[in-house]
């Protein structure tokens, strides 16, 4: 498998020609008002930068999430701004990229697809986590909820995320993260978790309305390649540049 084919496995999406022929084509620019056109351009340019961070070598593809959200450009811009804020947390001096990715992984088993019974494990999230320093075996332990096999440092985040997601967060747990970081960063991390829940459910919804198969087999396949030493880590800053 060449590099371009390998990268295509990581990021699902449609080319501009495929978008036009799909059941949910992008809106005609002439139908948008001035503010919507500005929002539309911002989101598309952001999406192109995200795609190019993979050094894919293939035609640009828009993700199903933003294919759906761009039906309302101002709404798409809101979601994009949240992503900008959290994906650059380390650059802003907040929680690190690694901590962000441990948080995301900890959420996934709680967001099983009601139709398929599968967790939403995208291969790109696996590559992000490995790139930011999460060992593949630790990723597996987090996804399987094997708490005893998770390091104490990551276990604190794992338990915090799970309790935040299920409504059981306590002051004691919050104080633990304040001691680890600061009040500001701990508050930002709570919001990251709750935003991620909303985003993951939104991703699942947009795959559903576009009649796309929600499958995590590629995510687990990529994880297995890392565990077996058959795959090299991606660039550390791929998810933030």
Is the overall model pTM greater than 0.85, yes or no? yes
Torsion of CA 205, 209, 215, 219, to 10 degrees: -60
Give long-range contacts, CB 8 A cutoff, 24+ apart: 119-125: 119/143, 119/216, 120/200, 120/203, 120/204, 120/214, 120/216, 121/216, 121/219, 121/220, 121/223, 122/216, 122/218, 122/219, 123/9, 123/10, 123/218, 123/219, 123/221, 123/222, 124/10, 124/11, 125/101, 125/219
Where b means 16+ CB within 10 Å and e means fewer, 147-178 reads: eeebeeebbbbbbbbbebbeeebeeebbeebe
Which pLDDT does position 213 carry in this prediction? 81
Which pLDDT does position 3 carry in this prediction? 52
Which H/E stretch holds residue 38?
Answer: helix 34-52
Which pLDDT does position 162 carry in this prediction? 97
Which pLDDT does position 214 carry in this prediction? 79
Mean pLDDT by 10 residues, the chain (241 residues): 55 90 94 98 93 72 96 98 95 96 97 92 93 96 96 96 98 98 98 98 95 90 96 74 60
Q: Round to whole Å and give the CA distance between 227 and 173.
A: 32
Which pLDDT does position 234 carry in this prediction? 81
Which pLDDT does position 6 carry in this prediction? 55
Which pLDDT does position 8 carry in this prediction? 54
């Amino acid at each position: 498998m060449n590099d371009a084919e390998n990268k295509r496995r990581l990021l699902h999406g449609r080319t501009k020609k495929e978008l036009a022929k799909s059941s949910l084509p992008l809106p005609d620019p002439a139908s948008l008002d001035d503010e919507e056109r500005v929002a539309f351009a911002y989101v598309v340019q952001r999406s192109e930068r995200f795609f190019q961070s993979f050094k894919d070598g293939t035609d640009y593809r828009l993700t199903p999430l933003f294919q759906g959200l761009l039906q309302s450009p101002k709404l798409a811009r809101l979601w994009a701004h949240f992503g900008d804020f959290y994906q650059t947390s380390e650059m802003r001096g907040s929680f690190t990229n690694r901590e962000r990715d441990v948080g995301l992984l900890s959420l996934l088993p709680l967001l099983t697809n009601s139709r398929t019974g599968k967790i939403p494990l995208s291969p790109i999230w696996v590559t992000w986590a490995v790139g930011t320093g999460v060992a593949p075996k630790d990723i597996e332990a987090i996804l399987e909820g094997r708490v005893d096999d998770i390091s104490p440092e990551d276990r604190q985040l794992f338990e915090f995320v799970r309790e935040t997601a299920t409504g059981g967060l306590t002051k004691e747990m919050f104080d633990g993260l304040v001691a680890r970081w600061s009040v500001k960063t701990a508050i930002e991390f709570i919001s990251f978790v709750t935003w991620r829940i909303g985003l993951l459910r939104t991703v699942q919804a947009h795959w559903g309305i576009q009649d796309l198969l929600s499958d995590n087999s590629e995510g687990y396949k990529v994880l297995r390649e890392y565990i077996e030493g058959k795959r090299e880590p991606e660039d550390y800053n791929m998810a933030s540049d």
